[in-house]
């Protein structure tokens, strides 16, 4: 590589990173200090590989992820349960025999017994998403001034710039989808030294030669979740089992590279380009990652060779073009922020926004587009959707295994996908639903006694696990809920409405019909109405009139709302695809479903009886499913009023994803000011988890890097927030589009372009002083 002059170097910094069209103003998150914590670092990703950029000056830290790096092996249903040798787990084949007993207990109103028996309907836990490792880059020490760290979400690039003892340094980062590579360019005014090493938390070997670090490693073939005290090891390793991987980091430089044990030293360089690739042996949810694994070593070598053959600027140009193909589909303007405020670092703006109630429409718009950025960056791997943390995870035992939690979280991840014009990202999830529908047949039969269709409990993983979790000791309030597949399948019809892609609907129809078939098999009749028994209302607990606190009942509203939606989607799809008799069967069942009830307080009743809630302000609100994301409450003023009452009882204090959901609920109910208040609540500043200063702020909200705080970090709130803004600006049904259904006073004038609707059309919209000035459906 030729030594660059300072002039060329400085001019080279800008052009590739600029180039926004007037429609999409440059949107950046920017900071005046390196990140000390994950919740301050900047996420980059190409839908498979992820990087968190800390922007350190003496020691740069880049956390690495590959969305296919999980513990575990293909889920083996029966065998899996036996393998665990867990005394509390009901042997495979026997679980469903408890269902008649549970139903009898419920018929006799013996809720404690029903609750106890539910534990027989619990299988194993999901596996765990793993970090890949960390790239450390050591730089010379000195006094740092003029520091700036930036994430440009218009181009999906990050950069760090500073003076060290008066010498200018700059680093640029992006993760290329066309090249499957993480790319880092280090620039300096004067020749400098740097040391590169990869820290890998898995069993591995490392070799360094020819300007490359090559790591071969493997993950545990089984892991228990952090919250479950396993009898032996929390993670179990065997070199002949589990997902294997090869990581290659190569450096190209105008300086000199020397290799020593596990690290590379670059000396006398003004420009160095690091390319990091990784391939895993994961070859699909049903393939053994060793015996039937992908040739990961060859793949990594091929990726490294391809990325190395291209010049930095070519890589950057291709990356930006690829990313903007998706990102530029939607632009938004919610008003201008005071330029002085806008110049402040993003975390400072966020604090002021929370503390002073300051107006900051550009920050609000940035958060909206950030959700789209995060989805493009984390959802482009077939059958492997964005998990609880998208794809950014540094922990070996991450919270909730960083898995797919299906009683809200996975679905919320995909709420913005269609409406903000990212259907390709949604298709990744539809592929996953297809995978789930395979193993879900055994789950429906074994745990629910339903021999048609498929079912899924409240957790899953890369192996498309479907069994209810809990190992016989889980609390039924979260462990016993077989409606994961029912909820997820409603995404199939949503995708069709927005895209009108009939060919894709045909591919997905079997999964949707299978979920609907499960509903038909699971429903039972009581007093002439169809209900579920047993039922739970995700994670909520009731208090019966006799004072019993429990979760198990019959005829829960949430179950029936989800079943209503799934059956009606399946019936509509069946009509379209000429499956008349099934459409009729589904509609006949819908007509017999127990209707919604309004409780004495005027709220939408959650339980079959008008019982009290153990925690009336609980974060979950699945009984409002029919308001959002469902459609069965819309247009019924009494039910809408009751849903608003339920939200009023719940209040505004809640976790990140719950805030995101409530923005959507209020927007769908047309309560613009509450939707906006909830959005501001979602954007409440939360300190990094590891920060322990006396001024630490905890709870649900938003971290300095604008990632969602459940807390801990969970990405669903970001996605819920993005969907929520869209829902405030445009509401659609299969036959209608309503502009500005919930426009708050805070955004008197603005515009949005490119939002998609359930009519299959795209909407451009502008307004001034609250009045629509432009409305185009194309
Ligand atoms: C559900 C929620 C929790 C958390 C977890 C991942 O169990 O109730 O709040 O989001 O999923």
Does the Cβ of 496 fall within 6 Å of ligand 1?
no
* Residue 193 near residue 258 (C-beta atoms within 8 A): no
Angstrom distances, CA of residue 771 to CA of 163, 579, 673, 738, 739: 49, 45, 17, 13, 10
Q: Does the pLDDT of residue 82 top 60, yes or no?
A: yes
Nearest ligand 1 atom, CA 399: 6
pLDDT at position 313, please? Answer: 98
Pocket probe for ligand 1: among 386, 401, 408, the residue whose CB has the most ligand atoms within 8 Å is 408
Atom of ligand 1 nearest to the CA of 403: 6
Nearest atom (ligand 1) to Cα of 388: 6
Rounded Cα gap, residues 532 and 617, in angstroms: 25
Cα separation of 461 and 713, whole Å? 18
Tell me the per-residue pLDDT of 568-600, one tens digit each, with 9 for 90 and over: 999 999 999 999 999 999 999 999 999 999 999
CA distances from 456 to 100, 369, 410, 448, 763 (A): 20, 32, 13, 10, 35
**What pLDDT score does 21 carry?**
41
Q: How confident is the model at residue 3, as a pLDDT?
A: 43
Query: What spacing in Å lies between the alpha carbon of 516 and ligand 1's midpoint?
Result: 25
Task: Please say whether the dihedral angle defined by the alpha carbons of residues 750, 755, 757 and 763, taken in this order, is positive or negative.
Answer: positive
Mean predicted confidence (pLDDT) in 200-205: 98
Q: Is 732 helix (H, G, I), strand (E, B) or coil?
A: strand
Q: Give nearest CA residue, ligand 1 atom 8.
A: 539
CA 4/CA 191 separation, integer angstroms: 10
Helix axes 361-378, 312-327, angle to 10 degrees: 110
CA distances from 655 to 606, 702, 762 (A): 20, 10, 32
Q: Which residue has the higher pLDDT, 82 or 49?
A: 49
Residue 645, Cβ density class (10 Å: 0-12 exposed, 13-18 middle, ≥19 buried): middle
Report whether 447 contacts 123 (CB < 8 A).
Answer: yes
Q: Which atom of ligand 1 is nearest to the CA of 658?
A: 9
Checking if the pLDDT of 10 tops 80, the result is no
C-alpha 710 – ligand 1 centre gap (Å)? 9
Pocket test for ligand 1, best of 405, 475, 655 (most atoms within 8 A of CB): 405
Q: Is 388 in the pocket of ligand 1 (CB under 6 A)?
A: yes
Q: What is the pLDDT of residues 617-673, one digit of tens each?
A: 999 999 999 999 999 999 999 999 999 999 999 999 999 999 999 999 999 999 999
Residue 724 pLDDT > 50: yes
- Which bin fits 124, alpha (ψ -120 to 50), beta or left (φ > 0)? beta
Q: If you measure from the C-alpha of residue 389 to the centroid of ligand 1, how many angstroms do you get, rounded to a whole number?
A: 12
- Per-residue pLDDT for 7 more than 80? no
What pLDDT is stored for residue 229 in this prediction? Answer: 77
Please tell me if the CB atom of residue 409 comes closer than 6 angstroms to any atom of ligand 1: yes
Report how far apart, in Å, the C-alpha atoms of 336 and of each of 348, 739, 748 are: 17, 21, 11
For 185-202, give the secondary structure using H, E and C. EEEEEEEEEEEEEEECCC
Mutate-to-test residue for ligand 1 from 714, 717, 718, 719, highest number of ligand atoms within 8 A of CB: 714
Report how far residue 162's alpha carbon sits from residue 148's, in angstroms, rounded to the nearest whole number. 6
24 pLDDT above the threshold of 90: no
405 lines ligand 1 (CB under 6 A): yes
In angstroms, rounded to a whole number, what is the distance separating the alpha carbons of residues 580 and 576? 9
Confidence of residue 20 (pLDDT cuts 50, 70, 90): very low
Q: Could you tell me the distance, in angstroms and rounded to a whole number, from the CA of residue 70 to the centre of ligand 1?
A: 20
Nearest atom, ligand 1, residue 655 CA: 9
Residue 666: which of 604, 739, 724, 748 has the closest Cα? 724
Q: Which residues of 264-297 are buried (b: 16+ CB within 10 A; e: fewer)?
A: bbbeebbbbbbbbbbbbbbbbbebebbeebbebb
CA gap 271, 284 in Å, rounded = 39
Query: Residues 547, 548, 550, 555: is their CA dihedral positive or negative?
Result: negative
- pLDDT score of 85: 67
Q: Is the CB of 714 under 6 A from ligand 1?
A: yes
As a whole number, mean pLDDT of residues 406-410 equals 98
For residue 72, pLDDT beyond 50: yes
Helix/strand/coil for 646: helix
Task: Please name which of 668, 748, 764 lies closest in space to residue 336, comparing C-alpha atoms.
Answer: 748
Verify whether ligand 1 is closer than 6 Å to residue 661 (CB atom): no
pLDDT tens-digit readout, 245-304: 999 999 999 999 999 988 999 999 999 999 999 999 999 999 999 999 999 999 999 999
Please report how the helices 580-592 and 557-577 are oriented relative to each other, as an axis angle in degrees rounded to 10.
Answer: 160
To the nearest whole number, what is the mean pLDDT of the chain? Answer: 95
Between the CA of 388 and the centroid of ligand 1 the distance, in Å, is: 9
pLDDT digits (tens, 9 = 90+) for 532-556: 999 999 999 999 999 999 999 999 9
Residue 539 Cβ < 6 Å to ligand 1: yes
**Quick check: 227 pLDDT over 90?**
no
- What is the percentage of the chain residues whose pLDDT exceeds 70? 96
Which numbered atom of ligand 1 lies nearest the CA of 407? 1
Alpha carbons 280 and 89: distance in angstroms, whole number: 32
* 619 Cα: distance to centroid of ligand 1 (angstroms): 9
Euclidean distance between the first and the last CA atom of the chain, given in angstroms as a whole number: 49
């Amino acid at each position: 590589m030729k030594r660059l002059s300072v002039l060329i170097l400085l001019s080279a910094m800008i052009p590739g990173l600029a180039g926004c069209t007037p429609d999409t103003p440059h949107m950046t998150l920017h900071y005046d200090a390196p990140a000390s914590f994950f919740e301050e670092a900047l996420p980059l990703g190409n839908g498979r590989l992820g990087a968190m950029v800390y922007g350190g000056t003496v020691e740069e830290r880049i956390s690495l992820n590959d969305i296919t790096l999980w513990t575990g092996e293909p889920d083996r249903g029966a065998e899996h349960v036996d393998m665990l040798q867990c005394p509390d787990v009901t042997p495979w084949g026997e679980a469903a025999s408890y269902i008649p007993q549970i139903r009898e207990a419920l018929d006799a109103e013996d809720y404690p017994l029903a609750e106890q028996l539910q534990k027989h309907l619990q299988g194993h836990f999901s596996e765990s998403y793993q970090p890949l490792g960390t790239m450390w880059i050591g730089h010379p020490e000195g006094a740092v001034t003029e520091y700036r760290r930036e994430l440009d979400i218009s181009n999906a690039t990050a950069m760090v710039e500073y003076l060290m003892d008066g010498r200018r340094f700059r680093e640029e980062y992006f993760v290329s989808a066309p090249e499957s590579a993480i790319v880092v360019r280090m620039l300096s005014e004067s020749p400098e030294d740097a040391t590169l090493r990869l820290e890998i938390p898995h069993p591995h070997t490392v070799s360094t030669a020819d300007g490359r670090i090559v790591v071969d490693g493997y993950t545990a073939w089984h892991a228990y979740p952090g919250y479950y005290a396993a009898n032996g090891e929390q993670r179990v390793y065997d070199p002949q089992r589990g997902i294997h991987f090869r990581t290659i980091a190569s450096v190209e430089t105008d300086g000199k590279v020397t290799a020593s044990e596990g690290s590379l030293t670059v000396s006398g360089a003004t420009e160095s380009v690091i390319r990091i690739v990784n391939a895993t042996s994961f070859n699909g949810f049903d393939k053994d990652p060793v015996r039937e694994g992908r040739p990961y070593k060859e793949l990594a070598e091929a990726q490294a060779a391809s990325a190395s053959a291209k010049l930095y600027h070519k890589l950057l140009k291709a990356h930006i073009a690829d990313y903007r193909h998706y990102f530029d589909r939607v632009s938004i303007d919610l008003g201008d922020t005071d330029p002085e405020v806008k110049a402040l670092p993003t975390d400072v703006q966020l604090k002021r926004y929370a503390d002073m109630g300051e107006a900051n429409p550009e920050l609000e718009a940035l958060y909206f587009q950030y959700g789209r950025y995060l989805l493009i960056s984390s959802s482009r791997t077939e059958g492997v959707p964005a998990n609880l943390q998208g794809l950014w995870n540094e922990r070996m035992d991450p919270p909730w295994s960083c898995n797919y939690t299906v009683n809200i979280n996975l679905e919320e991840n995909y709420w913005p996908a269609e409406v903000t014009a990212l259907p390709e990202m949604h298709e990744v999830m539809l592929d996953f639903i297809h995978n789930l529908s395979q193993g879900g047949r055994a789950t429906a039969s074994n745990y629910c006694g339903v021999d048609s269709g498929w079912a899924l409990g409240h957790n899953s993983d890369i192996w498309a696990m479907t069994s209810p979790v809990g190992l016989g000791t889980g609390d039924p309030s979260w462990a016993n809920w077989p409606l994961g597949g029912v909820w997820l399948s409603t995404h199939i019809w949503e995708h069709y409405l927005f895209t009108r892609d009939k060919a894709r609907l045909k591919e997905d129809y079997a999964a949707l019909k299978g979920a609907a078939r499960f509903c038909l098999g699971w429903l039972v009749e009581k007093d002439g109405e169809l209900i579920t028994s047993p039922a739970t209302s995700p994670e909520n607990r009731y208090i019966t009139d006799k004072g019993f606190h429990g979760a198990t009942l019959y005829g829960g509203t949430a179950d029936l709302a989800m079943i209503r939606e799934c059956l009606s989607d399946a019936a509509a799809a069946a009509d379209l695809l000429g499956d008349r008799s099934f459409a009729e069967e589904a509609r006949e069942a819908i007509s017999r479903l127990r209707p919604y009830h309004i409780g004495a307080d005027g709220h939408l009743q959650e339980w079959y009886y008008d019982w009290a809630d153990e925690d009336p302000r609980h974060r979950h609100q699945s009984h409002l499913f029919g308001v959002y994301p469902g459609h069965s409450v819309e247009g019924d003023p009494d039910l809408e009023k009751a849903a608003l009452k339920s939200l009023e009882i719940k209040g505004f204090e809640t976790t990140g994803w719950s805030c995101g959901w409530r923005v959507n609920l209020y927007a769908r109910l047309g309560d613009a000011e509450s939707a906006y208040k909830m959005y501001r609540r979602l954007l409440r500043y939360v300190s990094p988890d590891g920060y322990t200063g006396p001024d630490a702020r905890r709870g649900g909200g938003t971290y300095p890097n604008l990632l969602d705080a459940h807390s801990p970090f969970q990405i669903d709130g970001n996605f819920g927030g993005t969907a929520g803004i869209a829902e405030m600006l445009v509401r659609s049904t299969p036959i209608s589009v309503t502009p500005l259904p919930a426009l708050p006073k805070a955004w008197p004038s603005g515009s949005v372009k490119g939002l998609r609707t359930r009519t299959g059309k795209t909407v451009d919209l502008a307004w001034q002083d609250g009045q629509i000035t432009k409305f185009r459906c194309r």
